[in-house]
Structures are given as structure tokens and as C-alpha cells.
Structure 1
């Protein structure tokens, strides 16, 4: 954790006196062939989506212990519980890691009255995620170009379709968890994520992987 991050957390605690719920929401996406990924892109993907929440959680645990409890709500993705898009292995990795971290901490922090929750969302309107993606490329290697074009076309289509969720739905889900209205450990939000989970739960993993792969042939 940087000195700036630590100072920001200290300032938040000082400003509010007592914090009951912390939402880890930072996230970014590195997409493209793993073979073509630059070292700094790999490290940045993990640093933002996984190491960032680790740093925040570690800093807030003493505050929660002192106050007899609290809650961490970690914003994951349906790509943290099921793969869905080719060329997203690094993003999947970071979100799968966040899922494992959160589930592991559940047992560790439960005796301290510190709760863990996960939000698995899909795309939402207004967040400009597609334009913030870092793409792994190498002009000397064209073997992935066809797949890259198909994935980018899919993302472009998604941004112009009704598959994106209203951010208010995500806000409402977070509020329900924070207030105890919902006690779900995992909350999958949106049609896309729930449809993918239904498919994954209804067939073998081999069938699921082939079904997704066939969409990009």
C-alpha cells in the first residue's frame, strides 16, 4: 500500500469516526492474447483488481476489530465465477483471485463479526469500461487477429444493446447488503451474468467451455 492510500484511509476513518462497511470497487481490464501481454500490463491487472482490495482490507481490519465488527463488499464480476469472453484470461485471473480471497477471508473474519460479501456484475451503462481496456498486441503476430476482431465486435455490440445493466441496480444491491436487507454471500447482477451461470450449472464444464468457444468460431 502506498503512503497516499494509507493516508486516505486514515483520513476517512478520522472524518467518519466509525466505518461499518467498506466497498472495494476499483477495477480495470487487460485483454488480448496472454502470449502478447507486456509484463507491466500483467502486473497492473493484478495490482488494481486483487492487490488493491488486499491492501484496503488489511488496513481496515484493525478498525473493524476495535469496533466489534464490520463488512467488506468486494465488487467482482460474473467473469470471476465463470469464464465468458476469450482473450480475457488476465481479467478472469484477477477476479477469480478476488473471489478466492473473499471466500477464504469469510472463515477467517467471521469469528471477529466481520462479514464478507461479493457482487458479481456484468457490464453497466455509463462506466466506459470498453474504452478503458488495455489490449495486448504485437503487429508481428497475426494468429490472434480473427479472434480479437470477434471479441471487439462483441464488446461494441454489447455497448449499443440492452444487455448493459442500469448502475442503480448495482447500487441497490450494495445497499441491500450493507443494511442487512440481503444476506447473500454472492449476488449475481444482470441478465448476462445470470444466464451464463444458469448455463454453467446445467452442463458439464467441458460442455460449457465448448459452448462459449463455438460462439467465436
Structure 2
């Protein structure tokens, strides 16, 4: 079986990225996939997989990103679907996390994706087609997760620039989907993917409790099946009218509605004051006869 589209997937050596790459190859797609370590990537996917091009990429180095995009196009002739999946979690309160820790999370989760977009868009524009999936998180739609403020901020950024990107590239025939997963049973909450603050502050008891729960109770017990998430993304890529907002998981669905209801409640509770801020219109001049 052979499918015509060529996919370019970042962060493909584990987690949702790895499930997606394996699913795509099983279904006959051509896949260029990236990771920091090409050895980890080939080991995870399998060196002899047909239609598979493993690439070692440093997402924070734009020249490295450009080389990978160029290599994929040289090898397959084109790129049709781009998945900005690479990223990592960051736990810790805003007060605890250093400027360096926060910026490093933004460098990968936000600026790494922007580096990819900047280098693939000339090709997608030229062929007047394509689809970009930017993997955000339910934490990029609702930030009500104490101890995950910086991570949520990176994913809110992904959500925001993706909505703008969708409007910018629509006339070129390019689709954009924001993928917002809930909890999926991947290695995301393991030590290799979840960074914790170097300088913890003991007073943040709620943050420590949430952090511990994610590292211990939640890790390995997530309800979401990453293979099924991959299937949904593939279906979206093949859809005639793909969604801009693609939430994944019953929990993400529920969290999204909770956020929307909370916003609606604030709007209605404060409607009178919210809508009272325009300049007063001058009374029309009276006509004297």
C-alpha cells in the first residue's frame, strides 16, 4: 500500500511523534522524521523501514533546520504535511523557575517550531498546498494547572501564532491545525521529557503536590492511547476541511468546555462594565429654524 503524501515530523523518537511516524509508515506514507539523536530515532522506528528518512536536527539552530528540510525535499521531492511535535514539559512555579530555565523551554517549544515554519513555508507556498500541524496542549488552551505556568505559556504561544498562521497562509492553499492533546500514555511525564526546577521553594505545597502527582500517579496511567491520537491526526490531514482546533482526548474535550464556560461566565457577569468603555458619542446638533 502506498499513500502519496510526504510527512515531515519533529520530535519523532518517542511519544506521540513516534506513534505517528510508525502509523504513517504502516499506511504507506513517506516520512522524514527528526530527533536530536539519529541513533535514538533509527532504533525506535527501525532502520530498514521503507519510505523513512531519519534526520538529526537541532531545532534551535536555523541552519540545522534548513539542512533537514532541504534533505527531505531532495530525498522525497516534496513535503506535504509538517508536524511540529518536538517539545518538553516544564514543572515549577513561576517564582521558582529561573530566566534560563524558562527561556530554554520557549526555545524548543516555540522558537523551534517557528524555525521549522520559516523554512518549510517557501516550499508549501510554491506548490500551493500543504498542511501544518502545530502540537500544542490542552495546557495551551487553559492554564489552570499550578506548577505548569511556563509550559502553558509556551503552548499558549503555539496556539496564538498558529491561529495567525492559518489566516496568513490560507490563500496559498495551506491548512493549519492546532493539536491540543490531553493526557496520553507516553514518556512525556518521565524524567527525560519533564524538566523540574533546580531551586524548589518549599512554601509552594500545591505546586509540589501537582508535580509529584504528574511524576508518579499520573505517569504511566494516562487514559489516552497515542496510536489512536496518531490515527485522528492522519484522518485530519486527509479531510477536505480539516479543523483548525484539534483537541485530542475526552479529558481535553472536557477541559476545553470548562474553560469556555468560565470565559462566558466572566463576560456575562461583567458585561455592563466591559461594554461601557467607549467614548460617549456627542449629541447631534440641534437644527434651529
Q: Distance in 1 between matches of 2:174 and 2:240?
A: 17
Corresponding residue to 1:192 among 251, 272, 277: 251
Q: Distance in 1 between matches of 2:240 and 2:142?
A: 26
Q: Does 1:14 align with 2:67?
A: no
TM-score relative to the length of structure 1: 0.86
Corresponding residue to 1:115 among 159, 169, 175: 175
| 1:137-182, Cα deviation, whole Å (9 max, x unpaired) | 426x4221x1233112321222253x43100121011101211266
Q: Distance in 2 between matches of 1:44 and 1:206?
A: 36
Q: Distance in 2 between matches of 1:75 and 1:128?
A: 13
Corresponding residue to 1:164 among 223, 227, 231: 223
Kept in 2, the 8 Å contact 1:50–1:95? The answer is: yes
- Give the superposition deviation at 1:206: 7.8
Q: Distance in 1 between matches of 2:73 and 2:213?
A: 42
Number of positions where the alignment pairs a residue of Structure 1 with one of Structure 2: 204
Corresponding residue to 2:237 among 173, 178, 193: 178
Q: Does 1:39 align with 2:99?
A: yes
Q: State the SS of the aligned residue for 1:73.
A: strand
Q: What pairs up with 1:118-157 in 2 under 5 angstroms?
A: 118-131=178-191, 132-138=193-199, 141-144=201-204, 146-155=205-214, 156-157=216-217
Structure scoring higher RCO (CA < 8 A, sep ≥ 6) equals 1
Kept in 2, the 8 Å contact 1:33–1:137? The answer is: no
**Structure that is richer in helix per residue:** 1
CA root-mean-square deviation: 1.9
Q: Distance in 2 between matches of 1:90 and 1:205?
A: 25
Corresponding residue to 1:94 among 145, 154, 158: 154
Q: Which blocks of at least 5 consecutive residues in structure 2 are unaligned?
A: 1-60, 267-289
Q: State the SS of the aligned residue for 1:119.
A: strand
Kept in 1, the 8 Å contact 2:62–2:115? The answer is: no
- Range with greater deviation from structure 2 (198-207 or 9-18): 198-207
| 1:156-211, Cα deviation, whole Å (9 max, x unpaired) | 222253x431001210111012112662111111122112122223334788xxxx
Distance 1:50 1:128, change over 3 A: closer
Q: State the SS of the aligned residue for 2:179.
A: strand
